[in-house]
A and B are shown apart, each in its own frame.
Chain A
């Protein structure tokens, strides 16, 4: 149950928050974190773009199509992996929930899972860590670096989002899209994560 660190990227691709919770990953320079955030933002957008759009012929034709439009990016070296290079594997998944066909009128194509819009890169894994990305509907991205074997990352992610909504967004002096400097956010996040381990 190790959560190494958290990065928050605003909808324009700017780094607005970076904290380490438990040691285990090598630290990067501030500049490298900015590059990591920007690069991930770009890669995320591209992976979303390459999700295939299936032409809508008959509603039944889309029922059983391969879902995970996986794109094995050659190497994540561009994202400045904060760990000495071991074997790295990248996986892209475009939501693998199972849904039945819902007919979408007035569009000429559908995504592999009808009704679920294309998402981008969701997780990236190495021997030493896993990076999980959660993008909110508003476009903010939360990147969580955890132990690769950690379970229930969604629960942690959801809680982080709630803390963010409470202590960042509801702080009237926080300026939207700007770096997060909210002491209460840090405190609550730290306290909650410590309570889990």
Chain B
């Protein structure tokens, strides 16, 4: 599919020429520490940890989108399928150097899955064996928030959540992304 290959090419090019690299361990350890600290702060209330991670991601996404646009110089996507390719092949490539597989589209083209073959955030991680973390904690939940925040800034309201994670013993790490609606260019609500 041509838009996919085009996106791959843009992603590769940007990764090679425009992105400052940082030690992977630093990222992995920093993120791991944050999640562990949240688990401690919320006293093992993993639902709340998931929520906080999502919220942190949301705030990151709203800022990161500008960097993505400034670097990539790409225009508006024609449809949600193209958006999915851009997220996977350009977004994840330039920020994490991975390109999760876009798959499992619904027939209305409004929902897809991102399947992560690798996940730099979760290297070295083993979930605590308190009998609940394996069922309740979505370790990489920050990514859901990043997507929601970033896409909201370009007029797409989406919902994203993990449906499986290799950390929990599942076969794959899969995130489900659903388009709720395109935010029309109504006058934005008064903000100040």
Q: Could you say which residues of chain A place their CB within 8 Å of the CB of B190?
A: 12
Q: Which residue of B lies closest to A136 (CB)?
A: B69
Q: Are B73 and A137 in contact (CB under 8 A)?
A: no
Give the distance to chain B from A147, nearest Cβ to Cβ, in Å.
Answer: 25
Q: Could you say which residues of chain A place their CB within 8 Å of the CB of B63?
A: 169-170, 176
- Any A CB within 8 A of the CB of B70: yes
Q: How large is the interface on A (under 10, 10 to 19, 20 to 34, 35 or more residues)?
A: 20 to 34
A14 touches which one: B66, B73, B154, B192 (CB < 8 A)? B192
Q: Could you say which residues of chain B place their CB within 8 Å of the CB of A11?
A: 188
- Any B CB within 8 A of the CB of A59: no
Q: Please measure, in the bound complex, the distance between the C-alpha atom of A170 and the C-alpha atom of B95, giving whole angstroms.
A: 14
Q: Are A165 and B188 in contact (CB under 8 A)?
A: no
Give the distance to chain B from A59, nearest Cβ to Cβ, in Å.
Answer: 14
Q: Which residue of B lies closest to A163 (CB)?
A: B70
Q: How large is the interface on B (under 10, 10 to 19, 20 to 34, 35 or more residues)?
A: 20 to 34
- Any A CB within 8 A of the CB of B153: yes
Tell me whether chain A's interface is mostly helix, strand or loop, or mixed.
Answer: loop
Give the distance to chain B from A186, nearest Cβ to Cβ, in Å.
Answer: 18
Q: Please measure, in the bound complex, the distance between the C-alpha atom of A174 and the C-alpha atom of B6, giving whole angstroms.
A: 34
Q: Are B70 and A162 in contact (CB under 8 A)?
A: yes
- Any A CB within 8 A of the CB of B16: no
Q: Are A177 and B70 in contact (CB under 8 A)?
A: no
B169-192 near A? 1/0 per residue, CB < 8 Å: 000000000000000010110111
Give the distance to chain B from A62, nearest Cβ to Cβ, in Å.
Answer: 15
B78 touches which one: A45, A115, A162 (CB < 8 A)? A115
- Any B CB within 8 A of the CB of A53: no
Q: Are A138 and B67 in contact (CB under 8 A)?
A: no
Give the distance to chain A from B119, nearest Cβ to Cβ, in Å.
Answer: 23
B66 touches which one: A102, A116, A169 (CB < 8 A)? A169
17 contacts between A and B (CB under 8 A): A12-B187, A12-B191, A14-B192, A116-B75, A138-B65, A138-B66, A138-B69, A138-B154, A140-B66, A161-B69, A162-B70, A162-B71, A165-B69, A165-B71, A169-B63, A170-B67, A177-B191
Using CB atoms and an 8 Å cutoff, list the residues of chain A in contact with chain B.
Answer: 10-12, 14, 45, 48, 102, 104, 115-117, 136-140, 158, 161-162, 164-166, 169-170, 176-178
Extra inter-chain contacts (4) besides given A12-B187, A139-B188, A161-B70, CB under 8 Å: A48-B185, A116-B75, A117-B76, A169-B64
